[in-house]
């Protein structure tokens, strides 16, 4: 047990209640936050909930390959030291750091290089923004948008269609107001009365996804299907997989309600195991997403800018150039300073501070914080749209084929 005394630490034998102490030797078992107790029944303290989410990512690699173990260890220590930062190792072996914004990432990388890697040189990719995939929805999806997928052995068929979740619901799920742990009846009433979700869908929610807590739902709307509960686990596994890597560009899905419309399953258990159902269900989910007008969703910052009256015009021109949208402008009483509030796409925010300072001769002070997700206009499947070019860039960066797969790849004929 240690007491922090400015720059030095003093060992102490015991500490009375209400003081802050340091403990040595626990870093192997604690990742971000934990509650220490010598009683087994102790209730853990709640982890902190942040109003921002890590939407800007960079890939890092050591300049000298011999420093790779240092980098791996450094990333572990960085993840422990900053409760918001996410350190991910992709399937391709790439090390990714995700932070709340350009400045946050800059500080994390400085700490990683100087403190956790003892000054070893690292190579950093350009910042990459995390997107989400959603759907616009079509009329009568249960008749026009049903995707049929057959299992590899051709003995099982799944019919699934996708529809958008009510507009406020994805945010409510992300904020923790609606969770998979809620009591089923109370949740059904809440979804029906507050969000206008159909009762038959709200009653039979199988799971949330991705990661069991995301803002997509899988719902059983099939009528009198034999053996359906036997394949529930396989369908849930496929749903988690599909919602984590959407069909457009392998990004998480958001705000999609997947409905199991009907199934025809083999009577013999051995012919409807996980190996048959999981890939089939995933293909059906992808097909349903493509048939329901898929869209790309981008994150937005809320930008607060403090500036003198003379520079307001320059601020508007910089924001317009960056696809920003001003929604509030107020003058501080008794001062010549103005407060400008605007929404700015995270994708356009790189170099925004520098542009703003040069346009206003350093008189404007911006502050950015993650605010919301917004659906991008345009069809990502139409090559002439700007959003389609963006999807293509993301796919190339991730090593996927340039063109989004066609519905025909997922839709099986009867």
Whether 57 and 63 have beta carbons less than 8 Å apart is answered as no
Inter-CA distances, 44 with 35, 39, 278, Å: 5, 11, 35
| pLDDT of res. 331 | 86
The share of the chain scoring above pLDDT 90, in percent, equals 3
The CA distance from 106 to 88, in Å, is 17
| pLDDT of res. 343 | 92
Of the pLDDT bands very low, low, confident and very high (cuts 50, 70, 90), residue 49 is: low
> How confident is the model over 40-58, as a mean pLDDT?
76
Q: Which helix (H) or strand (E) holds 282?
A: helix 274-291
Of the pLDDT bands very low, low, confident and very high (cuts 50, 70, 90), residue 341 is: very high
The share of the chain scoring above pLDDT 70, in percent, equals 98
Of the pLDDT bands very low, low, confident and very high (cuts 50, 70, 90), residue 51 is: low
Average pLDDT over the chain, rounded to whole?
85
Question: Other C-beta atoms within 10 Å of 328: how many?
Answer: 9
pTM for the whole structure: 0.78
Whether 219 and 261 have beta carbons less than 8 Å apart is answered as no
The CA distance from 131 to 373, in Å, is 9
How many angstroms separate the first and last alpha carbons of the chain? Answer: 69
Inter-CA distances, 251 with 132, 243, 254, 256, Å: 6, 8, 10, 13
pLDDT tens for residues 226-283? Answer: 888 888 888 899 999 998 988 888 888 999 999 888 888 888 888 888 888 899 999 9
Residue 314's Cα: distance from chain center in Å? Answer: 34
DSSP notation for 70-108: HHHHHHHHHHHH-SS-EEEE-TTS-EEEEESSHHHHHHH
**Using CA atoms in the order 348, 354, 357, 362, what is the torsion angle rounded to 10 degrees?**
150
* Nearest in space to 247 (alpha carbons), one of 393, 377, 376, 135: 135
pLDDT over threshold 80, residue 382: yes
| pLDDT of res. 342 | 92
Long-range CB pairs of 220-224 (<8 Å, 24+ gap) are: 220/260, 221/142, 221/259, 221/260, 221/261, 222/260, 222/261, 222/262, 222/263, 223/262
Inter-CA distances, 54 with 81, 313, 349, Å: 15, 31, 14
Whether 146 and 261 have beta carbons less than 8 Å apart is answered as yes
CATH numbers and ranges of domains, the chain? 56-129 (3.30.70.870), 134-293+404-409 (3.30.230.10), 298-375 (3.30.70.240)
The CA distance from 13 to 2, in Å, is 9
């Amino acid at each position: 047990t240690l007491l922090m005394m400015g720059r030095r630490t003093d060992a102490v034998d015991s500490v009375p209640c209400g003081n802050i102490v340091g403990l040595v030797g626990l870093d192997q078992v604690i990742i971000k936050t934990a509650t220490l107790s010598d009683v087994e029944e102790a209730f853990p303290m709640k982890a902190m909930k942040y109003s921002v989410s890590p939407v800007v990512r960079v890939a890092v690699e050591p300049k000298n390959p011999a420093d790779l173990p240092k980098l791996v260890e450094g990333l572990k220590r960085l993840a422990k030291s900053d409760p918001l930062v996410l350190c991910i190792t992709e399937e391709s072996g790439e090390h990714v750091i995700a932070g709340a914004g350009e400045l946050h990432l800059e500080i994390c990388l400085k700490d990683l290089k100087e403190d956790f890697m003892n000054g070893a040189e690292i190579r950093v990719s350009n910042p990459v923004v995390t997107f989400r995939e959603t759907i616009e929805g079509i009329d009568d999806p249960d008749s026009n948008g049903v995707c049929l997928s057959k299992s590899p052995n051709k003995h099982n068929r799944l019919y699934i269609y996708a529809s958008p979740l009510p507009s406020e619901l994805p945010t409510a799920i992300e904020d923790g107001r609606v969770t998979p742990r809620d009591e089923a009846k109370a949740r059904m009433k809440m979804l029906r009365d507050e969000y206008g979700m159909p009762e038959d869908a709200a009653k039979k929610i199988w799971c949330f996804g991705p990661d069991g807590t995301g803002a997509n739902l899988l719902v059983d709307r099939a009528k009198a299907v034999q053996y359906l509960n036997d394949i529930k686990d396989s369908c849930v596994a496929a749903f988690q997989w599909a919602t984590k890597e959407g069909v457009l560009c392998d990004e998480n899905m958001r705000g999609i309600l997947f409905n199991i419309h009907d199934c025809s399953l083999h009577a013999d258990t051995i012919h409807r195991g996980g190996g048959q159902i999981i890939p089939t269900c995933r293909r059906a989910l992808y097909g349903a997403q493509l048939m329901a007008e898929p869209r790309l969703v981008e994150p937005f910052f809320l930008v607060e800018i403090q500036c003198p009256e003379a520079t307001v015009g320059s601020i508007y021109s910089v924001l317009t150039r960056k696809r920003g949208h001003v929604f509030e402008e107020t003058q501080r009483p008794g001062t010549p300073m103005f407060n400008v509030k605007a929404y700015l796409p995270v994708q356009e925010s790189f170099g925004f501070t520098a542009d703003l300072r040069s346009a206003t001769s350093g008189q404007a002070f911006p502050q950015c914080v993650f605010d919301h997700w917004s659906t991008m206009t345009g069809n990502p499947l139409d090559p002439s749209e700007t959003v389609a070019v963006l999807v293509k860039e993301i796919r190339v960066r991730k090593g996927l084929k340039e063109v989004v797969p066609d519905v025909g790849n997922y839709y099986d004929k009867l």
